[in-house]
A = this chain, B = another copy of it.
Amino acid sequence: MAWTLETITEGSITSVPGFKAAGVPCGLKKSGAPDLALVVSLSPCVAAAVFTTNLFKAAPVLYDQELVAKNPVGLRGVAINAGVANACTGTQGEQNAAQMAALAGQATGCEADSMMVMSTGVIGQQLPMDKIAAGVQAAAAALGADVAAGHEAARAIMTTDTRPKEHALHVRLDNGTGFTLAGMAKGSGMIHPNMATLLCTLTCDAPVAPVLAQAALREAVDASLNMVTIDGDTSTNDTALLLCNGMASMSLIEEASQEAYMAFRAGLTTLLVELAKDIARDGEGATRFIEITVQGARSREEAKQAAMSVATSSLVKTAIYGRDANWGRILCAVGYSGITLDATKVSLWLGDLQLVRAGEPYDLDETRASEILEQSDITIVVDLGHGESAATVWTSDLSHDYVSINAHYRT
């Protein structure tokens, strides 16, 4: 394949030509931090989106699903608030989501039905629409195309996140053309796949046919955001939105066989994997980033199922928090994951240290294990010994701070 991906250092969602952004405070966060973000394209965009599978879909999710279906090639941007999720809010919530979208369209001078909305925060509370209206006005006035404006937007969508999550990259095709991709995400708790378990907005200037934008986003999300779990809770508000304004000087991406499509999909996947890892690294209360690979499986699905079982085990996650090489809990979680396996064929590594060979304990070097567990990034590899498939998922440990953060989230 002949393309190259170049990371843009300190990039933001406005690293893509033709996009403006802003993040302002409107009073939803008690701290007074920015809590309302706008991302707007100078021209209409091809849009693709992936939404939560939770049956209690938040009002903005319901609104966006309809909007993307109705207007997949004319979207201009998205308004996002943090602090109130507008989920489980009934018909009043649906009206508020539609009103927030309309306000954002008016304030930015965009066409009707061209703005999406996202909300994150406490479930079951109504949006204070006076604050939202003022915030949308202020954000529209603050819109900027510089990188710093994108950083402000990424900060405004944070809830319990301790830092913004943003990445951008250039994709260079070998015919000399190319395009730029950028994304920002929030997510720290209530993180579990299906889908994206978070809010994520992606911008791109490649011209892409809607069906291919959707296909590439779906595939890239499955390989990235859907491989992260923090606490096993799938949120009501998860949304990943991709806006392609087509401003790059290059041919339209309209066939899945085009090299430009493969480059687009690869760039999108790379970007989303980076955002996914950032989310795991910033999991609520996290002290460790944990990468779990299950290999030697009969299928990728089985590998993912086993890896997710380990990644969601409270006992594995507390042991890693306690720097305790309690590997029996890892095998235990594989054993109840629901896949079939032969226990006598399973091997296990913590970092470069083999702990189990063919289902039996293998020479546990406690000193080396402790050294490995003192590192900030922990790698666990389980080999099932009966196939060629593998999957990798990302998570964080389960700490006292996770409990503190979530015991008093609403109060």
On chain A, which size bracket covers the interface? 35 or more
Asked whether B406 lies within 8 Å of A88 as measured between CB atoms, the reply is no
Verify if A318 is at the interface (C-beta below 8 Å from B).
yes
CB pair B409–A55 under 8 Å, yes or no, is: no
Give the contacting residue for A361; candidates B88, B231, B312, B329; CB below 8 A: B88
B360 & A321 in contact (Cβ 8 Å cutoff): no
- On whether the beta carbons of B319 and A359 are closer than 8 Å, the reply is no
Q: List 5 A-B contacts (CB under 8 A).
A: A55-B340, A231-B315, A233-B333, A315-B406, A321-B407
B328 and A361 within 8 A (CB): no
- Fill in one digit per residue for A316-327: 1 if any B CB lies within 8 Å of its CB, else 0: 001101101111
Interface string of A329-364 (1 = CB under 8 A from B): 101111110001101000000000000100111001
Take A55-B343, A88-B356, A315-B189 as given contacts and tell me if A332 and B403 are in contact as well, using a CB distance cutoff of 8 Å. Answer: no
Say yes or no: A332-B236 contact (C-beta < 8 A), given A315-B189, A359-B88: yes
Cβ of A410 under 8 Å from chain B: yes
Nearest residue, chain B, Cβ from A93 = B360
Contact of A232 among B124, B313, B402 (CB under 8 A): B313
Closest A-B pairs by Cβ, 9 of them: A123-B328, A322-B407, A90-B360, A56-B335, A318-B406, A234-B336, A124-B328, A54-B335, A55-B335
User: A314 touches which one: B54, B92, B194, B232 (CB < 8 A)?
Assistant: B232
CA–CA, A55 and B339, complex, Å: 9
Q: Does residue A108 face the partner (Cβ distance < 8 Å to B)? A: no
A318 / chain B contacts, CB cutoff of 8 Å: 402-403, 406-407
Given A233-B315, A324-B408: 18 more A-B contacts, CB < 8 Å:
A55-B341, A56-B332, A56-B334, A57-B335, A57-B343, A88-B360, A90-B359, A122-B326, A123-B327, A123-B332, A190-B329, A194-B336, A231-B314, A233-B333, A319-B406, A322-B409, A326-B409, A400-B404
Contact of A54 among B91, B92, B336 (CB under 8 A): B336
Report the minimal beta-carbon distance from A39 to chain B, rounded to whole angstroms. Answer: 26
Residue A411 at the B interface, CB < 8 A? yes
A399 lies within 8 A of chain B by Cβ: yes
A168 interfacial by beta-carbon distance below 8 Å: no
Which A residues fall within an 8 A CB radius of B?
53-57, 85, 87-92, 122-125, 189-190, 192, 194, 231-236, 312-315, 318-319, 321-322, 324-329, 331-336, 340-341, 343, 356, 359-361, 364, 398-400, 402-404, 406-411
**For residue A326, which residue of chain B has the nearest CB?**
B410
Interface of A is mostly: loop
Expressed in whole angstroms, the minimum distance between the Cβ of A142 and any Cβ of chain B is: 31
Contact A332 B235 (CB under 8 A): yes
Contact partner of A403 (CB less than 8 A), chosen from B91, B361, B398, is B398
Q: Contact between B56 and A331 (Cβ–Cβ < 8 Å)?
A: yes
Complex Cα spacing A363 to B309, Å: 38
Q: Tell me, in angstroms, the Cα distance from A314 to B92 when the chains sit together.
A: 29
Cβ B324 vs Cβ A407 within 8 A = yes
Q: Which residues of B contact A409 (CB under 8 A)?
A: 319, 322, 324, 326
- Could you say which residues of chain B place their CB within 8 Å of the CB of A336? 53-55, 192, 194, 233-234
Q: How close is A68's CB to chain B, nearest CB, in angstroms?
A: 20
Q: How far is the CB of A309 from chain B (nearest CB, A)?
A: 9
Q: Which residue of B lies closest to A327 (CB)?
A: B124
Q: Which residues of B contact A189 (CB under 8 A)?
A: 315
Also in contact, A190 and B332, with CB within 8 A (given A90-B360, A406-B314): yes
Chain B's closest residue to A357 (CB) is B90
A15 to B381, CA, bound (A): 49
Among A192, A364, A411: residue with most chain B CB under 10 A = A411
| Residue from A313, A322, A334, A359 with most neighbouring chain B CB atoms (10 Å) | A322
**Cβ contacts under 8 Å, A87 to chain B:** 328, 332
Q: Pick the contact of A324 from B85, B312, B333, B411 — CB < 8 Å?
A: B411
